[in-house]
Amino acid sequence: MTAELIADLEWRGLIAQTTDREALLKQLNGGPTSFYLGFDPTAPSLHLGNLVVLLVMRRFQLAGHKPLPLVGGATGLVGDPSGKNEERTLNEADVVAQWVERIRTQLAKFLDFDNGENAAVMTNNLDWTKPLSALEFLRDIGKHFSVNQMLSKDSVSSRLEGGGISYTEFSYQVLQGFDFLELYRRHDCRLQIGGSDQWGNIIAGLDLIRKVEGASAHCLTIPLLMKSDGSKFGKTAGGSVWLDPEMTSPYAFYQFWLNSDDADIPKYLKVFSFKSHAEISELIASHEVNPGLREAHRALAQELTTLVHGAGECQAAERAARALFGQGELAELDEKTLASALSQLPKTTIAVGSAFPTWVDLLAATGVVESKSAARRIVKEGGAYLNNAKVTAEDFIPTHENLLFGRFLLLRKGKRDLAAVEVI
C-alpha cells in the first residue's frame, strides 16, 4: 500500500524532495506511521495553497497512516520568514487564538478524527511552547542549533541580502524544529510533510531529533503549485481563494475551477482530484480534444466544491451558473446564492428611491460596453436581456417589479456577457 501511495504521489507531481527514500518506505511499510503537517494561523481561514498540502495529508491517511495536523498557536505569534524582503505583521494573541479555532474546525472536514487506529489527532504547538521559560528554551533547545547552518537557510539568506531579518523571525526554524521533537516524543511522529519552501525548517527538526533523542525521522515536501503563466496559484483579481464560505462563497469557489486556464487543468486534476489515474487520464484526453466543452473543468469544480463545501452548496452553485446564462430559473435561487453569484460580475448601483434608468443606461454604467450607443446596438441586434427576458426597446426602463429579492437586476449581453445592478 505504501509503495502505491508514493507511486501515486509521484504520478501526480506531488513530491519535491524526501530524505532517504528507502528508509522512508521501510518506515511507512512497517505499519501506520504518525506524521504531521503544520498550519500557521496567519488569517481567519485556510486558502487554496494550503489545500494542496492538506489533500496530501488526506491521501496519507487513506493509505493507513496517522495524521497529526498542527495549528501553530505559538509559531503564528512569531511568523515564518516570507520570501518578501520585509517582516510579517504580528497579530494580537487573542486574534491568533480565534484563528486557531477556526482553522481547527476547517481541518476536521478533510481528515477522519474518529475511526480506527489511524484516526487523526489535532495538535497545537502553544501547548508545549508556552510553559517553557526563555532560559529553558535556550538551554534545552537553542544549544542544538548552529547559527552557521541557520544562516544558510534560503528563507534567511535571502533576507540578509536585503533589509535584514529580526531575531524573532530568525528563530522560527528553531520553534518548528522543536515542534517535530515534541510530536516525536508525544506521538512517535516519524514524518513531517510540507511545502518545498519548508525544506530547511523540516531538516532542522530532523537534526534536533537525532541530537536530543538519538533517533531518526523523515520528511517529504510538496512542490509549490504555480499557474501555467507563472503567476501564483490560488489568486484571483479579488485576492486569495479561501476555504471559508464567508470569505470566498461556494459559487465563487466553483467558478474558480470552472474558469481556470485550459493549460492548468491537467495539472490541477492530478494534484487535487481523488479520481483514479484512469479517470483522470480520460478527462485529460477529452479536454485536449475539445477544451471548449469544459468537461474536465466541471468535473474538478464539482469534486472540490463538494469536498470543501458539501454537495448541497455545489448543487446550488451549479444551479446559479445555469440560471445566470438563461439555462435555469433565476426565481429558483435563494437570495444568498444569487447575491454571491452577482458579486462576481461587473456591477452598478442605484440608490433606494431613485428613478430607474433605461436598460441601455444601466448596461453602459456597468462598463460591459464602451458607450450607450454600443448598448443600443445590442438591443437592435436582439442580444439584450433583463433577468433572462429579452429586451426589445432601446428606451425600456426596468421597474421595481423586475427586482430579484427586491434588490437585484441581471443584465445580459448576448450569450455570455453578464452584469448586475443592485439597489442600495
- The per-residue pLDDT for range 218-245, each reduced to its tens digit, is 999 999 999 888 887 877 766 789 999 9
Calpha distance 278→111 (Å, rounded): 25
Give the 3-state secondary structure of residue 408: strand
Return the amino acid letter for 232.
Answer: K
Calpha distance 14→273 (Å, rounded): 12
Fold match between domain 2-222 and domain 345-424: no
Q: Is the pLDDT of residue 265 over 80?
A: yes
* Fold observed for domain 2-222: Rossmann fold (3.40.50)
Q: DSSP string spanning 286-353?
A: HHHH-GGG-HHHHHHHHHHHHHHH-HHHHHHHHHHHHHHTTSS-GGGS-HHHHHHHHTTS-EEEE-TT
Residues 36, 70, 158, 212, Cα dihedral to 10°: -60
CATH 3.10.290.10 fits 345-424, yes or no: yes
Q: Residues 340-372, buried b or exposed e (16+ Cβ, 10 A)? A: bbbebbebbebeeeeebbbbbebbbbbebbeee
pLDDT at 85: 61
Rounded mean pLDDT, 395-411: 91
CATH 1.10.240.10 fits 226-344, yes or no: yes
Q: Using alpha carbons only, how large is the chain's radius of gyration in Å?
A: 26
pLDDT at 172: 86
- The per-residue pLDDT for range 280-329, each reduced to its tens digit, is 999 999 999 998 888 999 999 999 999 999 999 999 999 998 888 888 88
The angle formed by the CA atoms of residues 305, 307 and 308, to the nearest 5 degrees, is 65
- The per-residue pLDDT for range 179-191, each reduced to its tens digit, is 999 999 999 999 9
pLDDT at 116: 86
For 17, phi and psi rounded to 5 degrees?
-145, 150
SS (H, E, C) 183-249: HHHHHCCCEEEEEHHHHHHHHHHHHHHHHHHCCCCEEEEECCCECCCCCECCEECCEECECCCCCCC
pLDDT at 194: 94
Q: Give the burial class of 177: count Cβ atoms within 10 A of its Cβ; 0-12 exposed, 13-18 middle, 19 or more buried.
A: buried
Give the 3-state secondary structure of residue 256: helix
pLDDT at 84: 63
- The set of cell numbers assigned to 352 is 433606494
pLDDT at 187: 96
Q: Is the pLDDT of residue 344 over 90?
A: no
Q: Where are the domains of the chain?
A: 2-222, 226-344, 345-424
Which residues are CB-neighbours of 156 under 8 A, at least 6 positions away?
A: 81, 150, 165, 170, 173
Calpha distance 303→33 (Å, rounded): 28
pLDDT at 334: 87
